[in-house]
Amino acid sequence: MAEAKHHGSKQKSQLDRLLNFSDGVFAIAITLLVLELIQTLHAQPGERLLKKCLEHWESFVAYTIGFITLLICWINHHIAFEYIRKVNTTFMWINGFLLFVVTLTPFPTAVLAEYLGKESRTALAIFGVNYILIAIAADAICSYAYNHHLIDEEHREYYYSYKLIYRYAIFFNVIAFLLCFVSIVIPIILYSILFVFFAAPKEFSSRLHKRRINKKITRKNK
């Protein structure tokens, strides 16, 4: 009994350390985003501040997009971990891959800020690759947790629906990425839709879960 309690306490400690480390990485990545804005303050002698800011509107747009991206990513990471009760070394490496992509986000954000008005399609495509990697990392975390029983058994049915939304997100992001070379408007619309859905992942996955349950009930009644 005491050994089981100690084992449970150890698992919780490992999980807490992983979460604390992950939160710290997210905080650093968000902080790095603002460095691109700071660069715009290096004005030439006699140059007006307002004019300088207006000339670098791309940097403010890119910062906003980058901040929203990381915030939504953190929200989804937080919710995914609500149901995870234990971790192992492999899972830590998978989570590390997500953190790698998170810390990489300021780079495509800087590219978007610098080249949005010059090479908009290429800049948006580079930013789109980052979205694909985030979706792959999120899918890997949820799939591994589900397949290796790192979550409570009572939540497995719901968690399956939750992990499905990231599998769909991979394909959605690939389509948006390919469209970047054809159009600018369409990918921006698709990424905006992505923001809306994943800003509230619980609601999205709950609706998907209900649809799956209703389908099962319908099949049984036939």
pLDDT digits (tens, 9 = 90+) for 22-39: 999 999 998 888 776 676
Q: Which carries the bigger pLDDT value, residue 67 or residue 2? A: 67
Which DSSP letter does residue 43 get? P
State the average pLDDT over residues 8-29. Answer: 85
pLDDT grade, residue 3 (50/70/90)? very low
State the average pLDDT over residues 158-177. Answer: 89
State the average pLDDT over residues 201-219. Answer: 77
pTM here is 0.82
The Cα–Cα gap between 177 and 78 comes to: 26
Phi, psi angles (nearest 5°) of residue 44:
-75, 155
Q: Which two tokens stand for residue 85?
A: 């009760």
| Per-residue pLDDT at 5 exceeds 60 | no
| Per-residue pLDDT at 139 exceeds 90 | yes
pLDDT grade, residue 46 (50/70/90)? low
Residue 2: the pLDDT is: 46
Q: Which carries the bigger pLDDT value, residue 5 or residue 167? A: 167
Range of the domain at 67: 2-221
**Based on the structure, what is the number of domains in the chain?**
1
State the average pLDDT over residues 196-203. Answer: 84
3-state secondary structure of 30: helix
State the average pLDDT over residues 148-164. Answer: 85
| Per-residue pLDDT at 177 exceeds 90 | yes
Q: How confident is the prediction for the chain on average, in pLDDT?
A: 83
Residue 210: the pLDDT is: 79
Residues in the chain: 222
| Per-residue pLDDT at 4 exceeds 60 | no
Residue 9: the pLDDT is: 61
Residue 183: the pLDDT is: 85
For 185, what's the count of Cα atoms within 13 Å in the CB-facing half-sphere? 0
Tokens 């609706």 appear where? 207
- Which of 158, 172, 143, 142 has the alpha carbon at shortest distance from 204? 158
Q: Note the pLDDT tens digit of each residue in 88-126.
A: 999 999 999 999 999 998 888 888 777 777 788 888 899
